[in-house]
């Protein structure tokens, strides 16, 4: 096994525990909606993944600490078997957090043995699956942040995940359009680095010429949309979006609030003043689409986004969790370089593309093939990465996907338009 794989395994596993440090035991069991999971469950499920797809098939004599974990911590792999009902994950006070941490240690010990077995006949598969498991755990680290933010926000005390030092506001430059000529091009991951199966195969797509905004839409721009009746004008909305917005009573992004008379928002540092030039965040795809229509623009397709991102030389990620000692856990304004700004590390960017298979897509066989493929309906693709995405997952071909009504991710807006200037 490459030292790199082993090292990434250890770092990632340690990182998951470290992220839970600021929380108490009760926080670790919180689940405020069906679509979020408690921190403890994330810790357990990521261990289950290694146990299920590596230890049970490849580690001779491996014994699970509790055979019932197979059902309890299975997320959605029908090929593995039954699953404990998702909406009840927050009701699993047992196994306790201590039990789950012991489960992690048990899995880690067995994984270390497996990874150091240079003579294992399935070494290649083991390496590949370990990498997949590491990437999987990084995705759950991001979900850890979005989920605990959502669950803590239900509490009227609006608790902080961790105390933070307020950052100085950064003034934002006006948005500029960058022009791309498009043409018959190739889309999808290339090169030897890891990618998920849904980024493949690289395949031909025709993309017409288009323009892309060089930065994300800001809070003050989104406020102007609201002030202009954005949430009250059906002509700006998709029909399903209009229905959803009314049913849920949306009037603003998920975590916006008024605090002592001033514009504020709830963050993982608690309630902070709402920075006018920071990217608007925690909006649904429907809101992103309505904003774009209001602005005389449109959302980019995922192909436009990828094509622009590939050609960008400015993909430096300055705001993601793993990138610095002092994480902000919140998107920041950008006043930087002249290229496309805020591609990564601030907000995921909604595209207008429905999440579907690339031409020639073929999922892995067996339960592991359920990782991505079976979700290819009703969701929209988001591109880029956010302030809580692992830095190594920030790449041009990464396809994130959520339902257009979802708002609990760090999701924002980058505008596009045709070269005619029309949407």
Binding residues for a copy of itself (CB under 8 A): 24-30, 32, 40, 68, 71-72, 76, 78-79, 84, 88, 90-97, 151-152, 154-157, 159, 184, 203-206, 208, 234-235, 237-242, 286, 289, 352-354, 356-357, 359-360, 362, 369-370, 374-378, 404, 418, 422-423
Write down the least CB distance from residue 416 to a copy of itself, Å: 11
Cβ closest to a copy of itself, residue 119 vs residue 184: 184
Cβ closest to a copy of itself, residue 335 vs residue 362: 362
Tell the residue number behind the tokens 């093939």, with chain if given. 369
Write down the least CB distance from residue 231 to a copy of itself, Å: 14
Cβ closest to a copy of itself, residue 201 vs residue 339: 201
Q: Specify the DSSP class assigned to residue 20.
A: H
Angle at CA of residue 324, ends 321 and 328, nearest 5°? 55
Radius of gyration of the chain (CA): 22
In 3D, which of 348, 331, 330 has the Cα closest to residue 400?
348
Cβ closest to a copy of itself, residue 123 vs residue 356: 356
Write down the least CB distance from residue 25 to a copy of itself, Å: 4
Question: Which backbone phi and psi does 387 adopt, to 5 degrees?
Answer: -70, -10
Cβ closest to a copy of itself, residue 93 vs residue 116: 93
Q: Please report the sign of the dihedral spanned by the C-alpha atoms of residue 111, residue 372, residue 76, residue 406.
A: positive
Cβ closest to a copy of itself, residue 7 vs residue 93: 93
Under a CB-based contact definition with an 8 Å cutoff, are residues 44 and 69 in contact?
A: yes
Q: Which residues pair with 416 in a beta bridge?
A: 212, 298
Under a CB-based contact definition with an 8 Å cutoff, are residues 250 and 226 in contact?
A: no
Cβ closest to a copy of itself, residue 9 vs residue 73: 73
DSSP string, 352-384: EEE--PPTT--PPSSGGGGTTGGG-SS-EEEES
In 3D, which of 125, 85, 105, 89 has the Cα closest to residue 1?
125
Write down the least CB distance from residue 367 to a copy of itself, Å: 9
Cβ closest to a copy of itself, residue 201 vs residue 336: 201
Cβ closest to a copy of itself, residue 159 vs residue 336: 159
Write down the least CB distance from residue 223 to a copy of itself, Å: 24
Give CA torsion, residues 202, 319, 131, 399, to 10 deg: -30
Cβ closest to a copy of itself, residue 90 vs residue 279: 90
Coil vs helix vs strand at 174: coil
Alpha helices in 159-284 (DSSP H): 219-227, 239-248
d(CA 264, CA 91): 32
Sorted by sequence, the CB contacts under 8 Å of residue 358 that are 6+ apart come out as 187, 188, 198, 199, 200, 201, 203
Write down the least CB distance from residue 314 to a copy of itself, Å: 27
Strand (E) or helix (H) holding 112: helix 97-115
Write down the least CB distance from residue 57 to a copy of itself, Å: 18
Write down the least CB distance from residue 75 to a copy of itself, Å: 11
Under a CB-based contact definition with an 8 Å cutoff, are residues 178 and 308 in contact?
A: yes
Cβ closest to a copy of itself, residue 49 vs residue 84: 84
Write down the least CB distance from residue 205 to a copy of itself, Å: 6
d(CA 29, CA 35): 14
Q: Please report the sign of the dihedral spanned by the C-alpha atoms of residue 387, residue 391, residue 393, residue 395.
A: positive
Write down the least CB distance from residue 113 to a copy of itself, Å: 28
Write down the least CB distance from residue 17 to a copy of itself, Å: 17
């Amino acid at each position: 096994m490459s030292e790199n794989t082993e090292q990434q395994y250890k770092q990632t596993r340690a990182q998951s525990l470290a992220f839970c440090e600021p929380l108490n035991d009760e926080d670790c069991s919180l689940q405020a909606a069906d679509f979020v999971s408690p921190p403890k469950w994330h810790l357990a499920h990521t261990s289950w993944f290694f146990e299920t797809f590596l230890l049970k098939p490849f580690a001779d004599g491996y014994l699970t600490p509790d055979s019932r974990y197979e059902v309890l911590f299975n997320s959605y792999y029908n090929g593995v078997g039954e699953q404990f009902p998702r909406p009840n994950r927050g009701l699993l006070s047992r196994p306790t957090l201590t039990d789950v941490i012991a489960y992690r240690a048990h899995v880690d010990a067995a994984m270390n043995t497996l990874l150091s077995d240079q003579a294992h006949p399935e070494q290649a598969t083991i390496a590949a699956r370990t990498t997949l498991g590491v990437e999987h755990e990084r995705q759950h680290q991001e979900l850890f942040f979005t989920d605990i933010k959502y669950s803590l926000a239900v509490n009227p005390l609006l608790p902080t995940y961790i105390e933070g030092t307020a950052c100085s506001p950064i003034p934002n430059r006006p948005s500029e359009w960058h022009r791309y000529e498009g043409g018959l091009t190739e889309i999808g991951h290339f090169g030897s680095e890891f990618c998920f199966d849904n980024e493949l195969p690289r395949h031909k797509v025709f993309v017409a010429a288009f323009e892309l905004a060089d930065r994300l839409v800001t809070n003050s721009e989104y406020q102007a949309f609201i002030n202009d009746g954005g949430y009250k004008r059906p002509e700006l909305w998709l029909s399903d979006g209009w229905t959803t917005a009314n049913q849920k009573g949306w009037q603003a992004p998920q975590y916006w609030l008024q605090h002592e008379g001033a514009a504020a928002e709830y963050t993982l540092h608690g309630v902070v003043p709402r920075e006018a030039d920071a990217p608007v965040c925690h909006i649904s795809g429907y809101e992103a689409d309505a904003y774009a229509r209001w602005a005389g623009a449109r959302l980019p397709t995922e192909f436009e986004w990828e094509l622009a991102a590939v050609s960008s030389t400015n993909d430096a990620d300055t705001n993601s969790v793993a990138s610095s000692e002092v994480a902000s856990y919140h998107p920041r304004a950008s006043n930087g370089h002249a290229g496309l700004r805020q591609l990564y590390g601030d907000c995921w960017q909604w595209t207008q593309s429905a999440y579907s298979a690339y031409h020639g897509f073929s999922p892995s066989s067996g339960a592991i093939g359920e990782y991505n493929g079976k979700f290819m309906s009703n969701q929209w693709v988001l591109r880029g990465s956010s302030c809580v995405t692992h830095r190594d997952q920030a790449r041009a071909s990464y396809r994130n996907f959520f339902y257009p009504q979802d708002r609990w991710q760090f999701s924002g807006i980058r505008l596009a338009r045709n070269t005619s200037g029309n949407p």
